[in-house]
């Protein structure tokens, strides 16, 4: 056997042996496990001060905006408004030539009058036939009475139909006047005077200028406190240094999937000495909250997703995060007593204090004593 062949055979036996020996040697050594710190989303419950310290950016919008249109066709003969004009409820902002509708109304009223006269004659004829049948049965017949009743019924139906036609014709005549449905400001016009317009074609846009709304976004950690807000201070970039008082009008019940914030609509009266227009940017701060004992006794609100019932348990629990250093904290599983389920969360009546951090999502994928990273909340 040649030296080369002997070397190849030795290599064929030696290499697997080295691999096996290396694998066996490695079994006796283990790499240190890396601790994975899980990020969790939390809410700081009952933090009234936290809500009051925040500024919430927003943008002004009108409480009501409407595009007015006629319900009939015709040529415009009156269009007295321009963009920027203030109008009062009931003011005529446009008018269609009413002559054709006036003629139509006169015609159907005349037809109705004739139909009522025929009905009167038909009723008299029926009464006459009934009287004859009662006093002298041989002088008439049941068939004659039935014919008289049928004529009366047709006359009644004709009167009802023409009465509806008169009402419709009157409505069409009234519809030649386009009136403002509320006090407001004209912000757009879509036609010119003397133009032929179609039914439902937009003519003018009016917005309610008596009140202004602003929509702000509130984080889920504070949304349960919003019902306690009694007043807010609103500012607009267009009026630096000015503050306007407002209140909460509506609280959204569905959070944004990306920011986890809830829309809250604020409303304020239009100032007498400044015209706030839709689209103006600004912001709001909480001015006054109801922190009475009666309100606080109701409980501390937490998001629904924060409450869970562990296996083999009957009592509700929450995860409370105890901050340690930086953005880290340790989890504590705590039993709580729940109260009412509101549209903004669950009220905790026992087991939780204002200002504590509560895990709001993924409550079934964490464990007691686990170190977690506290995620910074999005939004205000």
Q: What is the SS3 assignment for the chain?
A: CCHHHHHHHHHHHHHHHHHHHHHHHHHCCCCCCCCCCEEECEEECCCHHHHHCCEEEEEEEECCEEEEECCCCEEEEECCCCCCCEECCCCEEEEECCHHHHHHHHHHHHHHHHHHHHHHHHHHHHHHHHHHHHHCHHHCCHHHHHHHHHHHHHHHHHHHHHHHHHHHHHHHHHCCEEECCCCEEEEEECCCCCCEECCCCEEEEEECCCEEEEEEEEECCCHHHHHHEEEEEEEECCCCCCCEEEEEEEECCCCCCCCCEEEEEEEEECCCCCCCCCCCEEEEEEEEECCCHHHHHCCEEECHHHCECCCCCCCCEEEEEEECCCCEEEEEEEECEEEEEECCEEEEEECCCCCCEEECCCCCCCCCCCEEEECCCCCC
CA distances (Å), 240 to each of 56, 63, 243, in order? 16, 23, 8
pLDDT at 154: 95
Instruction: Provide the terminal-to-terminal Cα distance of the chain, rounded to the nearest Å.
Output: 85
Q: Centre a 10 Å sphere on the Cβ of residue 79 and count the other Cβ atoms it contains.
A: 20
> C-alpha 39: how far from its chain's center?
32
CA distances (Å), 168 to each of 69, 81, 82, 314, in order? 18, 28, 31, 66
225 contacts 291 by C-beta, under 8 angstroms: no
pLDDT tens-place string over residues 284-311: 999 888 765 445 556 777 888 899 999 8
Nearest residue to 112 (alpha-carbon basis) of 159, 156, 154: 159
Q: For the chain, which residues score pLDDT lower than 70?
A: 1-35, 46-50, 221, 291-298, 343-344, 376-380
pLDDT at 33: 56
Q: What is the pTM of this model?
A: 0.58
Q: Which two structure tokens, joined as six digits, stand for 272?
A: 């007498």
Q: Which two structure tokens, joined as six digits, stand for 58?
A: 């927003």
Bridge partner list, 122: none
Bridge partner list, 298: none
Alpha carbon distance 5, 11 (integer Å): 10
pLDDT at 380: 46
pLDDT at 22: 47
Q: Which two structure tokens, joined as six digits, stand for 157?
A: 């139906």
pLDDT at 273: 86
CA distances (Å), 193 to each of 76, 97, 175, 178, 288, in order? 6, 11, 17, 13, 51
- To the nearest 10°, report the CA torsion of 128, 130, 135, 137: 120
379 contacts 261 by C-beta, under 8 angstroms: yes
Alpha carbon distance 336, 279 (integer Å): 45
Alpha carbon distance 302, 307 (integer Å): 8
Residue with tokens 């003011």: 91
Bridge partner list, 95: 78, 177
pLDDT at 19: 47
């Amino acid at each position: 056997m040649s030296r080369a062949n002997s070397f190849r055979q030795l290599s064929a036996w030696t290499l697997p042996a080295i691999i096996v020996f290396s694998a066996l040697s490695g079994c006796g050594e283990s790499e240190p496990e890396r601790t994975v710190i899980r990020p969790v989303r939390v809410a700081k419950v009952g933090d009234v001060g936290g809500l009051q310290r925040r500024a919430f950016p927003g943008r002004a919008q009108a409480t009501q905006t409407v595009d007015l249109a006629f319900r009939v066709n015709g040529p415009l003969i009156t269009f007295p408004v321009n963009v920027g004009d203030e109008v009062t409820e009931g003011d005529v902002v446009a008018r269609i030539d009413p002559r054709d509708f006036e003629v139509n109304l006169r015609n159907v009223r005349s037809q109705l009058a004739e139909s009522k006269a025929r009905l009167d004659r038909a009723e008299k004829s029926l009464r006459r036939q009934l009287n004859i049948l009662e006093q002298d049965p041989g002088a008439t017949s049941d068939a004659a009475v039935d014919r008289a009743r049928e004529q009366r019924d047709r006359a009644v139906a004709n009167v009802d139909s023409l009465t509806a036609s008169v009402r419709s014709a009157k409505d069409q005549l009234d519809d030649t006047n386009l009136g403002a449905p509320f006090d407001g400001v004209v912000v757009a016009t879509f036609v010119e005077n003397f133009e032929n317009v179609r039914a439902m074609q937009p003519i003018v846009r009016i917005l309610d200028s008596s009140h202004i709304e602003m929509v702000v976004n509130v984080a889920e950690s504070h949304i349960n406190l919003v019902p306690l807000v009694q007043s807010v201070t609103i500012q607009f970039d267009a009026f630096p240094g000015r503050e306007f008082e407002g209140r909460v009008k509506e609280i959204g019940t569905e959070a944004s999937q990306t920011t986890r914030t809830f829309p809250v609509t604020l409303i304020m009266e239009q100032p007498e000495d400044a015209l706030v227009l839709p689209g103006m940017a600004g912001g709001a701060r909480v001015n006054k909250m109801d922190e009475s004992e009666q309100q606080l006794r109701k409980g501390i609100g937490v998001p629904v997703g924060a409450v869970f019932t562990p296996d083999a348990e009957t009592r509700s629990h929450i995860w409370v995060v105890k901050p340690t250093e930086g953005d880290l904290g340790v989890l504590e599983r705590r039993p709580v007593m729940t109260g009412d389920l509101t549209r903004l969360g669950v009220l905790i009546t026992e087991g939780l204090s204002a200002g504590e951090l509560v895990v709001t999502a993924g409550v079934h994928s964490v464990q007691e004593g686990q170190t977690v990273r506290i995620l910074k909340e999005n939004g205000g």
